[in-house]
Amino acid sequence: MKVWKKIAEELKENNRIVLMVVLESKGSSPGRQGFKMMVSSSGELFGSIGGGFMEHKLVELCKKELLQKEFAPFKKRQVHKDSIAHDKSGMICSGEQTIAFYSLTNKDALLIEQIISSNTGIVDYEVDAVCFSADESLSSRYYLQLNDEVWSLKEDLSVHDELHIVGGGHVGLALSKIGHLLNFKIFTYDNRKNLNTVEQNEVAKHIYIENYEDIGSILTDGSNKYVVLMSFGFRTDKVVLQNLLNHQFKYIGMMGSKEKVERLFEEMINEGATKEQLAKVHSPIGIQINSQTPEEIAVSILAELIHEKTKILTNN
């Protein structure tokens, strides 16, 4: 939404805009599907389509040619290899991406304001225009139709990656703040009242739970949900995990030492859980970077979440 707000500001000044949108991303490509970048006739740049030489080259194309007059939408394939004859991006990271280009002027201001003012609806990047429908929805964030001549990338504004943090302590606070910067929608859960770190958390929706055994009915399934367990102690983590083990999430992980995890898993197996069920739990959580402070631990956890979020794309 930040890109749209910046576009609205530029259009109010009667500036001409080129909007670049990544329609598709394959392999080790720095620009992911849905990445956007604005280039304004005022000289302002905002957003990103992946950075590096490719982005610099396409920004220069916008400045020198596309901003000079209105143009019909078009797309460019950018391949990140130096061994091909056509569509070279100038980068060598081996993936590829397809980018659509749109000309926007003050006559598009109403459309942009509709997008900004809505928390739901579909933005459709079509072959001939950017369109918006407030009454549609998708089952996922993006839906793409793409061939040589025609394309349509639908983006559902109501679908966001959600980070659900069970435990509102110091690490939960740090995880909330950094996760918010990475565009996760943040939720925290805790059974302690008047917790100072919860009161300090300005980016999360806090849900008080009197009994952690109820969490399975409060935290429902979702392919866009990332769940992190870091409650007050061993026993509460166990209760939470027992009640979430049969749920379906994009990611579930639990903070704790190797010894704690082994003991907790052993108890749960003895009580009926299967090794297959526990294998989906990332624990000890996070990328191993010898983290110590709450902020360092949060970085290690979010690094693992980002890896889970993007590994399907990078394996294409």
272-282, pLDDT tens digit by residue? 999 999 999 99
What is the strand order of the sheet 185-190 is part of?
204-208, 185-190, 162-166, 222-229, 249-254, 281-282
Asked if the structure places residue 138 within a domain, the reply is yes
Helices (H) and strands (E) in the chain, counts: 10, 15
Asked if the structure places residue 58 within a domain, the reply is yes
pLDDT-derived band of residue 312, with 50, 70 and 90 as boundaries? very low
Question: Which residue range(s) make up the domain with 119?
Answer: 2-156
Judge whether residue 210 has pLDDT over 80.
yes
Structure tokens at 315: 């394996």
The arithmetic mean of pLDDT across residues 132-141, rounded, is 84
CA distances from residue 210 to 192, 215, 315 in whole angstroms, order as listed: 8, 10, 42
| Residues 251, 194 share a domain | yes
Q: What is the pLDDT of residue 261?
A: 93
Identity of the highest mean pLDDT range in 19-28, 48-57, 261-270: 261-270
Tally the residues of the chain.
Answer: 316
Count of domains observed in the chain = 2
User: At which of 107, 126, 156 does a domain end?
Assistant: 156
Judge whether residue 79 has pLDDT over 60.
yes
* Nearest residue to 253 (alpha-carbon basis) of 280, 221, 290: 280
CA 210 to chain centre: 31
| Residues 243, 140 share a domain | no
Cβ–Cβ under 8 Å, residues 285 and 251:
no
Q: What is the pLDDT of residue 313?
A: 45
What is the strand order of the sheet 142-146 is part of?
130-133, 122-126, 151-156, 142-146
Asked if the structure places residue 316 within a domain, the reply is no
Window from 55-59, 63-67, 137-141 with minimum mean pLDDT? 137-141
| Residues 175, 150 share a domain | no
The arithmetic mean of pLDDT across residues 92-106, rounded, is 89
Q: What is the pLDDT of residue 139?
A: 76
The arithmetic mean of pLDDT across residues 115-120, rounded, is 87
* Residues in a beta bridge with 77: 98
* Residues in a beta bridge with 100: 21, 75
* Nearest residue to 282 (alpha-carbon basis) of 266, 268, 265: 265
User: At which of 118, 137, 156 does a domain end?
Assistant: 156
User: At which of 156, 175, 193 does a domain end?
Assistant: 156
Phi, psi of 187, deg, nearest 5: -130, 135
Q: What is the pLDDT of residue 297?
A: 95
Q: What is the pLDDT of residue 205?
A: 93
CA gap 114, 96 in Å, rounded: 32
| Residues 42, 79 share a domain | yes
Judge whether residue 101 has pLDDT over 80.
yes
Q: What is the pLDDT of residue 288?
A: 87
Q: What is the DSSP string of 169-237?
A: SHHHHHHHHHHHHTTPEEEEEES-TT-HHHHT-SSEEEEE-S-GGGHHHHS--EEEEEEEE--SSHHHH
All residues at 6 or more sequence positions from 71 whose CB lies less than 8 Å from its CB, including other chains: 101, 103
pLDDT-derived band of residue 66, with 50, 70 and 90 as boundaries? very high
| Residues 257, 185 share a domain | yes
Window from 42-46, 116-120, 154-158 with minimum mean pLDDT? 116-120
In angstroms, the first-to-last Cα distance of the chain is 28
The arithmetic mean of pLDDT across residues 259-268, rounded, is 94
Cβ–Cβ under 8 Å, residues 33 and 24:
yes
Give 281's Cβ-side CA count (13 Å radius): 28
The arithmetic mean of pLDDT across residues 185-192, rounded, is 94
Q: What is the pLDDT of residue 315?
A: 44
Give the pairing of strands 17-26 and 96-104.
antiparallel
Phi, psi of 6, deg, nearest 5: -70, -40
Q: What is the pLDDT of residue 31?
A: 83
| Residues 63, 172 share a domain | no
Cβ–Cβ under 8 Å, residues 120 and 135:
no
Mean pLDDT of the chain: 91
| Residues 207, 152 share a domain | no
Q: What is the pLDDT of residue 311?
A: 67
| Residues 196, 79 share a domain | no
| Residues 195, 81 share a domain | no
The arithmetic mean of pLDDT across residues 238-265, rounded, is 93
CA gap 226, 165 in Å, rounded: 8
Q: What is the pLDDT of residue 92?
A: 67
| Residues 114, 87 share a domain | yes
Judge whether residue 78 has pLDDT over 60.
yes
Judge whether residue 61 has pLDDT over 70.
yes
| Residues 85, 14 share a domain | yes
pLDDT-derived band of residue 217, with 50, 70 and 90 as boundaries? very high
Asked if the structure places residue 149 within a domain, the reply is yes
The arithmetic mean of pLDDT across residues 33-51, rounded, is 94
* Residues in a beta bridge with 45: 39
